[in-house]
Amino acid sequence: MPEPALTRREVLKAAAAVGMASAWIPRDAAAQGTLASLAPEEPVDKTMQRLFGGRPIRDGASVINLDLPLIAEDGGNVAMSVEVKSPMTPQSYVKAIYVLSDKNPRPLNAKFNLTPACGQAYVATSLRLADTGDVRAVAEMQDGALVMVKRTVRVVVAGCAV
């Protein structure tokens, strides 16, 4: 399919968009994807220590619903959702949900920062999993209290180094 030629207006709009984008990101855009800017390669215990220090983490089986397949055919794309049963009011809400995969070289998949305006502590995404192992979801309440659940996922084809 031939590419449509760009008009002058489109070029200017694109240039403006690039300018806006760089203004939006305070960090140095040129080097954001290097290994140094990624989380370090480390065992999951070290990541937990780095994120939460020695803070106590309660078992969250009664409040967190972590939905994952038992067997993931493709580790490169594993559907995951987390729902924390919690009020979402300014007085009491889930501030953040961390998703970690024990067997990934960089265990932290994502950190989801939430606000009371979410109405519900629910997030979903597709994970890359390097190998069969536990996936954990840690919920941090607005007062800093932590709760965690784990689920084991069998990975058939690895999501490679992630």
Count of positions on this chain that bind another protein (CB under 8 A): 52
Stretch that binds another protein, among 2-10, 54-62, 73-81, 141-149 (CB under 8 A): 73-81
- When asked if residue 110 is in the footprint of another protein (CB under 8 A), the reply is yes
CB nearer to another protein: pick between 89 and 152: 89
Read off the amino acid at residue 128: R
Stretch that binds another protein, among 2-10, 55-63, 99-107, 148-156 (CB under 8 A): 99-107
- When asked if residue 156 is in the footprint of another protein (CB under 8 A), the reply is no
Tell me whether residue 113 is exposed, middle or buried, using C-beta atoms within 10 angstroms of its C-beta: 0 to 12, 13 to 18, 19 or more: exposed
CA 20 from chain centre, in angstroms, equals: 25
- When asked if residue 5 is in the footprint of another protein (CB under 8 A), the reply is no
> What are the DSSP calls for 40-91, one per residue?
PP--HHHHHHHHHTT--EEE-TTTEEEE--SEEEETTSEEEEEEE----BTT
Q: Are 72 and 78 in contact (CB under 8 A)?
A: yes
Q: Which of 60, 128, 136, 147 binds another protein (CB under 8 A)?
A: 128
Q: Which of 5, 7, 31, 144 binds another protein (CB under 8 A)?
A: 31
